[in-house]
Chain A
């Protein structure tokens, strides 16, 4: 299995890159949102192939190392790319619109390029105790982050389309996007899923830290993540309970996502935390 890994590591960014190009072609050549999704199936097929190869890669790594392959920041990037691709494919099959792939798949490609270029050299860390808690915490965090990325992408697409419709602008972008309400729903649903996953990640992280004897409450990353979670929870609650719709709901979820992303950089730049991949 060992000799297979370098091949899969090289193959993954190639496949994601080709599928990103395929989705660019879909965006340019698609006859129109209301005319179905005939032809131009290269991108979607390549993305499915890439996801399949990624599953093989993760399974091979897991079998070799005896735990989930989430031991370094590059593993985290690769797994985030993988879960983004899976979440996107799920959305694509649900709404049967391929024209938003151009906004997601290139990001997956970039994450995998970084993971493949630098990941091979990074040493895998050994979790201190109870690796299952640690792994589940990381897994939930990866899935949660992916859901928030998808939510943010659909949120931004919503805002652009909203502006175009208000201005009566029938652009290529206008013709390629799903209905505005669908984009708003996708933004809120993905944020809701991310919220649950991040709550699980925080809970399991706390459980793992407690068992490991780590003072998680004094960790700035924990606090900043909780702040971001509260903002996102408010955004999701406002959508479902307070009737927030349209740009206001999207801005609220984007504020939570921005806090989440900034918290990572803030921790690395200004604080000392046990909570980083080294």
Chain B
């Protein structure tokens, strides 16, 4: 679990889809320039040594380290009022949450892993966290600790995605349709999609299929004008509803979303189409209520019929699976949190200096023992003195520089971190030194 991390001094103040309504979140989305202003204010007026702002359509969060602010929530409230013109000081203040370390670090890791997202496990947040880091770097907000913090958050996100099923499976009906079609037909690049109806549902499905590589669309709609507009948007061929029996054999995927009161696709039409298709698989996605495709079509071999309930069922299974993966992701978050806090704790000057000196002296002693046999016994004392003298002289300057390093200032941390990196000093080395058994 989390270790003591008093010197980290990192707070997070923000709001998300769980604590605030959409109109508030919308009003607080910051563009790059506004983020830069916020970071400047945190550094100059709040005394923060490092700062980061994560602003997306579902959250706006401010992270600051080493700030001299007594009430972070009040400071951020004033900042948001100044930059976005939104006053959260009244009862709207309940929208904001405040975390201090280690909860602030844990929260960022959970956000990066998609645990705090509206759609559990959605992948876009990882890219948004990366963008926030580069923006902080451009605005002078990043530093060694924030850099390392974001690295750790992104590592946790990557692990969550590869080691667990948090990002697996479709989470929308349209994506479920694409996923199912891919599972049956394989690559969709050479497949043909027939859209019956040209409304919003059909357009959404068409957009997903186009993203999945489908290039050939046909559209059949009662209103010719709408079909023409659709055809322009998707380079589709317009066919009449009466021609459905003729064009059906040429389609591999049929998406139907009309408001017709009766079935538009009948079993006899599909049966004939399958004969012409030589029984090659065909998928029907019936997104209409009442349904456009006769239910008996599902009984035909190599015909896969999915209505909204079926697609909804797939989405529900997928989400349930993702929810089942939460404990695994939480475990990753805790591991990465521990690792990060251990790293941070190890940055204290004294343990680093001691570990650094110990390591160099140990190497010198080992080498001395290894080669002692090559010298006469009466020379050993002089040899010891010689090696000891060289080591002490070589260690003097780096030791002095390190001891004078301000462990809270970015340059000091960078120097300590560089020594640890160059000499391969692990966190455990300094822990052991600090807590000798």
A and B co-occur in one complex: yes
- Residues of A at under 8 Å CB distance from B? 31-32, 34-35, 38-39, 165-166, 168-170, 174-175, 177-182, 243-248
The answer to whether A168 touches B182 (Cβ under 8 A) is: no
Please provide the 6 A-B residue pairs with the shortest distance between their CB atoms, ordered closest to farther: A243-B278, A179-B186, A245-B279, A246-B302, A170-B317, A168-B310
Instruction: Say how far A44's CB is from chain B's closest CB, in angstroms.
Output: 17
Residue B360 interfacial (CB < 8 Å): no
- Give which listed residue, A175, A180, A182, A248, contacts B301 with CB less than 8 A: A248
| B287-330, CB < 8 A from A | 298, 301-302, 304, 306, 310, 313-314, 317-318, 321
State A31–B318 Cα separation when bound (angstroms): 14
- Give which listed residue, A32, A35, A168, contacts B306 with CB less than 8 A: A168
Given A170-B314, A243-B280, output 6 extra A-B contacts at Cβ < 8 Å.
Answer: A32-B165, A38-B162, A165-B184, A165-B304, A170-B317, A245-B279
The answer to whether A170 touches B281 (Cβ under 8 A) is: no
How many chain B residues touch A (Cβ–Cβ < 8 Å)? 28
The answer to whether B298 touches A179 (Cβ under 8 A) is: no
Residue B250 interfacial (CB < 8 Å): no
User: Which residues of B have CB within 8 Å of A180?
Assistant: 183-185, 281
State A92–B304 Cα separation when bound (angstroms): 27
State A247–B304 Cα separation when bound (angstroms): 13
The answer to whether A244 touches B279 (Cβ under 8 A) is: yes
Closest to B312 in A: A168
Closest to B279 in A: A245
A-B contact pairs, 25 of them (CB 8 A): A31-B161, A31-B165, A31-B168, A38-B162, A165-B180, A165-B184, A166-B304, A168-B310, A170-B317, A170-B321, A177-B183, A179-B183, A180-B184, A180-B281, A181-B184, A181-B185, A181-B186, A181-B281, A243-B277, A245-B279, A245-B281, A246-B279, A246-B301, A247-B301, A248-B301
Residue B169 interfacial (CB < 8 Å): yes
Query: Given A31-B162, A245-B281, does the pair A170, B184 have CB atoms closer than 8 Å?
Result: no
What total count of A-B pairs have CB within 8 Å? 64
The answer to whether A174 touches B168 (Cβ under 8 A) is: no
The answer to whether A179 touches B182 (Cβ under 8 A) is: yes
Main secondary structure of the interface of A (DSSP, over half): loop
User: Which residues of A have CB within 8 Å of B165?
Assistant: 31-32
State A243–B301 Cα separation when bound (angstroms): 13
User: Which residues of B have CB within 8 Å of A174?
Assistant: 183
State A113–B210 Cα separation when bound (angstroms): 50
Closest to A245 in B: B279
User: Which residues of A have CB within 8 Å of B277?
Assistant: 243
- Give which listed residue, A165, A243, A244, contacts B183 with CB less than 8 A: A165
State A175–B310 Cα separation when bound (angstroms): 17
User: Which residues of A have CB within 8 Å of B310?
Assistant: 168
State A245–B280 Cα separation when bound (angstroms): 6
Closest to B278 in A: A243
Closest to A248 in B: B301
User: Which residues of A have CB within 8 Å of B185?
Assistant: 179-181
| B128-159, CB < 8 A from A | none
State A56–B373 Cα separation when bound (angstroms): 49
State A203–B161 Cα separation when bound (angstroms): 54
